[in-house]
């Protein structure tokens, strides 16, 4: 059978458009729907394009910048700290932080990674552990010395980058540690004057916008946002020469007496400036890897103790000021004991009849207590608080404590008696040093400061000049051959001061552990410096303040007065120390 051609089919009357193969079986509305959908899609795309390119331009630019634009911090140089004569005590040294893009660094040859770990002072295992991170930025080490950074960059390891920063350097090391303090890895003050003057020293960091590529390299500098402002320099009241003298002499006594701790502070009696402050144990602020809490404590300011006999001059001064006694008033101290209620206090030696001046010279507990019991508790409390006891020192230094003076309304007679000679009251060494200003400055007291000042501040009068002069004479006797501190004498200079030896309290009970102290000033004719020394738990056979603390005072005072070019005020160039010195009563 033969097929018919289209021409043949048409000839037979079959139309091409009516062919069943070409017949349209779909409804006509469907094509209209498809056309509408396509038209709507085109309108949506056009609207989206207008939205993105017209209305959302700022948003998209920010999104793009977040992927390649960065804000870099421009560090400000921290201000220097100097002593009163301009000698640098703390300065900032330029160093760098080493950071990495982990994925890129891990592709480096193994031998290069080994060399990198060695330069960074870590094991290869620890280095790989740091690099095993999902982040695209990892600090490997902060504050790396420039010499080491140069060696690291010479390795030419892809993905290793550096960032400029600063590291603090302390030329005086451990001798000045508790005054200056230190900063952390972010160059922020953590202790001492570094912390107290953080805002002044730190300055203000700057910033600028840059474009970086995938490897973190800067390819374009966009703009400067804020210029950095370096910190201001800080001039302390400290005298480096006197500081070294105080530290070295304290260290010698600390080691000689096998003490638990020790502290010393030297004040300028005319201005209230701190010329030296040292503590033991101490630390090296340039290397704090093994720093402990005991080394960090600034005991001169943060530790309190029962001062013992160094408190007696305040009780006697109050008796003179209220005209209950004169330096020549006699008091019977025999038989060396005094019973108050159920308690008994005593002297180390039986002295018999003593004048008020001799009570200070011989350090009689009984004589001091008898004077105290003639007074009202509020009078004593007012005297103690007026010189700063029981109040936090306003010296602009972190950690200074208030100590403790209980409210006078709760005092019992025995407590009033014991507080008169330094038991039942707690003070810090810097409080003790400042309180002696009233004897060195003709009866007034001024604030203590760690900053170098021009003019001394106005003083607050506590006792009359007459009482202060009488107390100076008594304290000079106490530091003389017949007193408890002949070892405090200084050739060529008249000195005055008082020893203290007190039991320590452990668990609420007095134990046979001691704190030996001495507070004094010189020269007596025109006092220039006040020196306070404390030695905690001397354990090498001696524990009295006259044997342990007074020699430190003598050595420091002698050298400090010469360093300050203070003229001698005594024609005597030799000192007299009796073979068996008088010890103060505990």
* pLDDT tens, residue order, the chain (586 aa): 444 454 554 555 555 556 666 565 667 777 778 888 888 888 888 877 777 777 766 666 666 665 566 666 667 789 999 999 999 999 988 888 888 888 777 778 888 888 888 998 888 888 888 888 777 778 888 888 888 888 888 888 888 888 888 889 999 999 999 999 999 988 889 999 999 999 999 877 776 666 666 555 655 555 566 677 888 999 999 999 999 999 999 999 999 999 999 999 999 999 999 999 999 999 999 988 888 889 999 999 999 999 999 999 999 999 999 999 999 999 999 999 999 988 999 988 898 999 999 999 999 999 999 999 999 999 999 999 999 999 999 898 888 999 999 999 999 999 999 999 999 999 999 999 999 999 999 999 999 999 999 888 899 999 999 999 999 999 999 999 999 999 999 999 999 999 999 988 888 788 889 999 999 999 999 999 999 999 999 998 899 999 999 999 999 999 999 999 999 988 765 566 665 566 676 6
Q: State residue 517 phi and psi, 5-degree precision.
A: -145, 165
pLDDT > 90 fraction of the chain, expressed in percent and rounded: 58
Assess contact for 409 and 369: CB atoms under 8 A. no
Give me 118's structure tokens: 């060695």
Distance between CA atoms of 530 and 523, rounded to whole angstroms? 10
Cis amide linkage into residue 523, ω under 30° from 0? yes
The residue whose two tokens read 């019973």 is 339
CB atoms within 10 A of CB 4: 12
Q: What is the pLDDT of residue 183?
A: 92
Assess contact for 482 and 211: CB atoms under 8 A. no
Q: What is the pLDDT of residue 64?
A: 62
The residue whose two tokens read 């030996």 is 516
Summarize pLDDT for 302-314 with one digit per residue, the tens.
Answer: 999 999 999 999 9
Q: What is the pLDDT of residue 130?
A: 84
Distance between CA atoms of 276 and 239, rounded to whole angstroms? 7
Catalytic residue among 309, 435, 517, 554: 309
Give me 178's structure tokens: 């508790």
CB atoms within 10 A of CB 514: 24
Query: Is residue 309 annotated as part of the catalytic site, yes or no?
Result: yes
> Dmax of the chain from CA atoms?
163
Distance between CA atoms of 435 and 471, rounded to whole angstroms? 13
Distance between CA atoms of 272 and 267, rounded to whole angstroms? 6
Q: List CB contacts of 367: < 8 A, sequence separation 6 or more.
A: 331, 333, 351, 354, 356, 358, 359
CB atoms within 10 A of CB 36: 10
Distance between CA atoms of 482 and 357, rounded to whole angstroms? 12
Assess contact for 146 and 99: CB atoms under 8 A. no
**Residues 493, 259, 499: CA angle, nearest 5 degrees:** 35
What's the distance, Cα to Cα, between the start and end of the chain in Å?
144
Distance of CA 100 to the CA centre of its chain: 34
The domain ranges of the chain are: 72-235, 240-563
Distance between CA atoms of 209 and 573, rounded to whole angstroms? 71
Looking at the DSSP assignment, which residues form a beta bridge with residue 493?
A: 490
Distance between CA atoms of 173 and 89, rounded to whole angstroms? 9
Distance between CA atoms of 387 and 428, rounded to whole angstroms? 13
Give the CATH class of 240-563.
alpha beta
pTM: 0.82
Assess contact for 570 and 494: CB atoms under 8 A. yes
Domain 72-235 belongs to what architecture? Alpha-Beta Complex (3.90)
Assess contact for 183 and 95: CB atoms under 8 A. no
Distance between CA atoms of 168 and 166, rounded to whole angstroms? 7
Give me 529's structure tokens: 């410096």
Q: List CB contacts of 76: < 8 A, sequence separation 6 or more.
A: 202, 203, 204, 205, 206, 228, 229, 230, 231
Assess contact for 266 and 518: CB atoms under 8 A. no
Summarize pLDDT for 51-109 with one digit per residue, the tens.
Answer: 777 776 666 666 666 556 666 666 778 999 999 999 999 998 888 888 888 877 777 88
Q: What is the pLDDT of residue 4?
A: 47
Cis amide linkage into residue 132, ω under 30° from 0? no
Torsion of Cα atoms, 130 then 136 then 138 then 140, to 10°: 70
């Amino acid at each position: 059978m033969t097929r018919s051609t289209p021409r043949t089919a048409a000839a037979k009357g079959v139309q091409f458009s009516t062919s069943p193969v070409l017949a349209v079986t779909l409804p006509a509305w469907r094509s209209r729907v498809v056309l509408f959908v396509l038209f709507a899609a085109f309108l949506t795309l056009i609207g989206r394009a207008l939205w993105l390119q017209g209305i959302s331009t700022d948003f998209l630019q920010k999104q793009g910048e977040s992927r390649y634009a960065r804000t870099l911090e421009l560090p400000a140089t921290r201000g220097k700290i100097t002593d009163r004569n301009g000698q640098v005590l703390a300065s900032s040294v330029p160093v760098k932080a080493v950071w990495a893009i982990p994925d890129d660094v891990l592709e480096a040859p193994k031998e290069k990674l080994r060399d990198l770990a060695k330069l960074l002072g870590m094991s290869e295992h620890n280095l790989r552990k740091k690099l095993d991170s999902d982040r695209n930025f990892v600090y490997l080490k902060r504050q790396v010395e420039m010499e080491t950074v140069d060696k690291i960059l010479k390795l030419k390891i892809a993905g290793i980058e550096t960032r400029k920063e600063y590291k603090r350097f302390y030329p005086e090391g451990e001798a000045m540690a508790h005054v200056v303090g230190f900063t952390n890895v972010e160059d922020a003050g953590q202790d001492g004057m570094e912390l107290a003057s953080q805002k002044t020293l730190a300055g203000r960091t700057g910033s600028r916008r840059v474009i970086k590529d995938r490897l973190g390299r800067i390819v374009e500098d966009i703009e400067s946002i804020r210029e950095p402002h370096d910190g201001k320099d800080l001039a302390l009241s400290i005298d480096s020469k006197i500081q070294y003298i105080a530290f070295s002499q304290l260290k010698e006594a600390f080691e000689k007496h096998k003490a638990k701790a020790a502290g010393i502070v030297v004040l300028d009696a005319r201005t209230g400036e701190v010329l030296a402050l040292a503590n033991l144990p101490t630390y090296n602020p340039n290397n704090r890897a093994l720093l402990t809490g005991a080394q960090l404590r600034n005991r001169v300011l943060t530790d309190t103790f029962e001062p013992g006999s160094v408190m007696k001059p305040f009780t006697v001064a109050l008796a003179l000021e209220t005209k209950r006694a004169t330096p020549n008033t006699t008091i019977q101290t025999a038989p060396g004991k005094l019973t108050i209620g159920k308690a008994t206090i005593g002297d180390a030696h039986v002295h018999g009849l003593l004048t008020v001046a001799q009570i200070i010279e011989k350090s009689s507990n009984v004589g001091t207590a008898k004077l105290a019991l003639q007074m009202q508790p509020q009078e004593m409390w007012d005297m103690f608080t007026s010189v700063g006891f029981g109040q936090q020192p306003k010296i602009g230094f972190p950690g200074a404590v208030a100590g403790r003076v209980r409210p006078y309304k709760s005092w019992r007679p025995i407590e009033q008696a014991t507080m008169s000679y330094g038991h039942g009251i707690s003070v810090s060494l810097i409080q003790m040093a400042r309180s002696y200003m009233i004897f060195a400055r003709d009866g007034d007291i001024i604030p203590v400061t760690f900053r170098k000042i021009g003019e001394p501040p106005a003083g607050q009068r506590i006792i009359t000049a007459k009482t202060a002069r009488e107390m100076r004479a008594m304290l000079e006797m106490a530091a003389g051959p017949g007193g408890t501190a002949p070892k405090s004498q200084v050739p060529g200079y008249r000195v005055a001061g008082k020893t203290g030896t007190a039991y320590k309290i452990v668990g609420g009970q007095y134990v046979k552990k001691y704190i030996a102290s001495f507070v004094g000033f010189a020269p007596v004719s025109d006092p220039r410096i006040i020196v306070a020394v404390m030695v905690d738990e001397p354990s090498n056979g001696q524990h009295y303040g006259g044997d342990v603390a007074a020699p430190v005072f003598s050595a420091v005072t002698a050298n400090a007065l010469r360093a300050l070019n203070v003229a001698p005020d005594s024609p005597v160039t030799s000192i007299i120390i009796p073979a068996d010195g008088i010890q103060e009563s505990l």
